[in-house]
Amino acid sequence: MSYKIIIDSCGELLDQWKEDQRFESVALTLNVGGENIIDDDTFNQSIFLKKVAECSECPKSACPSPERYMRAFDCDADHIYAVTLSAELSGSYNSAVLGKNLLLEEKPGRKIHVFNSKSASVGQTLIGMKIQECEEAGYPFEKVIETVDAYIEEQHTFFVLDNLETLRKNGRLSKVKALVASALKIKPVMGSTDEGAICQLDQARGINKALVKMAQQIVEKTQNSGAKVLAISHCNCKERAQLLQKALQERMPMKDVVILDTAGVSSMYANDGGVIVAV
């Protein structure tokens, strides 16, 4: 059976996927100071981060339209899947479901499923990898959905922020708290809830100590790590991601580790120097 995997642009694509017609990225739109930036292969991270730093307003994102998802679903593949940013963080999931329903009205009987990742960034990447693994193993459509749903329920996402300006601008952190945190070099360790929302797990003074605390959280929450792939995405800090990889490999066995640059939406969430981990 042929298949297609569609991932909204909050999820980073593996290099080999970018040349593979079975994979497609559906772009969100970012807005910084009234300027719209499409999160596709034209996205320039360094220019984007500069615009965000210079703008007093919080950057925002707009999800792909149902019609855009409908076009992505309208293909010759036997099995079609979409993986979206957590429904707790974006309307991308609902838009994809509506796009699916619109296509099924015109072409009933197509096998299309939309996964709410309950995650973001490389969490979506790992889900895409799991779908591909199931398809390559010859699983029936329903078995792929069942297996991937179970995988999503077990997955955890973590991130450390080096720059708190986005949290301050969007009101999640008051100006006073942001100033105090910056002065004391306090860095929050964040994670995903079971529902796919964001919560603070810990904090530390200094980015290196925060990364150590995040590593501790990852080790504590990851069961059967030797059978799992761990993914790290970083926003303009590859060496930091590599140091984290080394620290985690010293603490627990892993099937494999993938390191990727954050795309546009992930760069907006993580901001300059941020690191995201999913496992």
Above 60 in pLDDT, residue 143? yes
| pLDDT grade for 178, boundaries at 50, 70 and 90 | very low
Residue 105: count of CB within 10 angstroms of its CB: 9
- Given 1.20.58.2030, 3.30.230.70, 3.30.1180.10, 3.30.2010.10, which CATH number is that of 157-278? 3.30.1180.10
In the predicted model, is pLDDT for residue 208 greater than 50? yes
> For strand 35-38 and strand 275-278, is the pairing parallel, antiparallel, or unpaired?
unpaired
Structural class in CATH, domain 3-28+63-153 = alpha beta
pTM for the predicted model, two decimal places? 0.94
pLDDT the model gives residue 180:
45
pLDDT of residue 188: 85
Is a pLDDT exceeding 70 seen at residue 12? yes
CATH 3.40.50.10440 in the chain is located at 3-28+63-153
pLDDT at 176: 41
Q: Cβ of 165: how many Cβ atoms within 10 Å? A: 19
Give the residue ranges of DSSP H helices in the chain.
Answer: 15-18, 45-54, 66-73, 92-106, 122-136, 141-154, 165-169, 175-183, 207-221, 238-251, 264-270
pLDDT of residue 119: 97
Q: Name the residue with tokens 């984007």.
A: 48
Structure tokens at 214: 């995040």
β partners of residue 168: none
